[in-house]
Amino acid sequence: MDLLRKITDKDILKCALPVCIVIFFTMLIIYSSLLATEQKKRNELIKQEQLRKDAEMKVYLMGKFDPSTREDFVVVPEKYSLYNNGKMYLRKETLNAYLKMQEAAQREGVQIKISSATRNFEYQREFWNGKWSTNTEIDAIEKNTENFNRFKKILEYVSVPGTSRHHWGTEIDINGANLAYFNSIKGIREYQWLAKNAGTFGFCQTYRNKDIDKRTGYNEERWHWSYTPLSKTFTEEYRRLVTKEDIYGFIGDKYVLEQDLVNQYALSINPECL
Ligand SMILES: [Zn+2]
């Protein structure tokens, strides 16, 4: 009887072992496959989250928001505004850095004030559209006519909506936007102070002389300064996310595709600001 039981146990063991091995590997395969599915789901969620963030960032970079509704923007106090013609907004960090710079300038007898700050897409769109019918500098080109020459003429001194760095809350125009003023004795002194000291406060002259920087795009603007601790990131994100196909929604937008506004204008800046 004992012998019979021993044989039976051995037989059972003999039969059970392969079954156990099969079950073990089957479980292993199922477990690995579950892990892979979980990982795939996680990767998909990460990808979706990145796409959502990118879409949000693109809306921001193209100025399609109202700065008055955002917590990261603040109103520029009137006493720092050159014209006092309505509320101006900046990113908090930009205004804080500007205030330190303004105090330092004042201590050395140089008066600086903000003439323009954040301009969103809607603002820029109205400004741009207005140029098609009102600006005397382009009267030579038939008014209200959609043609490429007119587009290029306006582009010499107005950013296409969706391509202006003023959308970002990091850009300020200081003491006007007039090159003749910056060639006056007062203007030269103010510019020289900024050129020497603005970097200490994080500001960089975005559009220097084109020949010096060997760049395309906008002419020299001695009044336009970027707050680079923020604007460097936004510049990189703009390069990564925005294409000319994204730029539309204003008069003459059909001409956008005929040129490289992203690289030759929006990203064509003083290399020291990059
Ligand atoms: Zn400007």
d(CA 118, CA 171): 7
Cα separations in angstroms, 116 against 37, 93, 168, 197 = 53, 16, 12, 20
Please, which contacts does 263-267 make with residues 24 or more away whose CB atoms are closer than 8 Å? 264/216, 264/217, 265/155, 265/159, 265/160, 265/163, 265/216, 265/217, 265/218, 266/159, 266/163, 266/164, 266/165, 266/217, 266/238, 266/242, 267/235, 267/238, 267/239
Domain ranges of the chain: 1-61, 67-273
CA 157 to ligand 1 center in whole angstroms: 10
The pLDDT, as a whole number, for residue 154 is 87
Token pair in block for residue 58: 């693109």
In three-state secondary structure terms, 272 is helix
In three-state secondary structure terms, 205 is strand
Q: Which residues contact 248 (CB under 8 A, 6 or more apart)?
A: 162, 256
pLDDT at 145 over 70: no
Band (pLDDT 50/70/90 cuts) for residue 137 is: low
pLDDT at 142 over 70: no
d(CA 251, CA 147): 10
d(CA 136, CA 111): 32
CA 149 to ligand 1 center in whole angstroms: 23
In three-state secondary structure terms, 139 is coil
CA 175 to ligand 1 center in whole angstroms: 11
Residue 160 phi/psi, 5-degree rounding, is: -65, 135
Alpha carbon of residue 145 to chain centroid? 31
d(CA 112, CA 193): 10
CA 69 to ligand 1 center in whole angstroms: 22
CA 23 to ligand 1 center in whole angstroms: 71
Token pair in block for residue 23: 């079950």
The pLDDT, as a whole number, for residue 131 is 85
Query: With left for phi above 0 and alpha for psi between -120 and 50, is residue 110 left, alpha or beta?
Result: beta
Contact 174, 113 (CB under 8 A): yes
Taking only Cα atoms into account, the Rg of the chain, rounded to an integer number of angstroms, comes to: 30
CA 171 to ligand 1 center in whole angstroms: 7
Tracing tokens 């559209």 back to the chain, one arrives at 129
Contact 241, 52 (CB under 8 A): no
CA 207 to ligand 1 center in whole angstroms: 9
CA atoms within 13 A on the CB side of 211: 0
CA 2 to ligand 1 center in whole angstroms: 100
Mean pLDDT, rounded, for 29-38: 93
CATH hierarchy code of domain 67-273: 3.30.1380.10
pLDDT at 235 over 80: yes
Band (pLDDT 50/70/90 cuts) for residue 7 is: low
Token pair in block for residue 56: 């949000």
Band (pLDDT 50/70/90 cuts) for residue 4 is: low
CA 59 to ligand 1 center in whole angstroms: 20
pLDDT at 128 over 60: yes
Mean pLDDT, rounded, for 80-103: 95
Share of the chain above pLDDT 70, in %: 92
The pLDDT, as a whole number, for residue 19 is 86
CA 154 to ligand 1 center in whole angstroms: 15
Which residues are paired to 91 by β-bridges? 73
The pLDDT, as a whole number, for residue 1 is 53
Higher per-residue confidence, 158 vs 110: 110
- Cβ neighbours, 10 Å, residue 18: 9
Token pair in block for residue 244: 């000319």
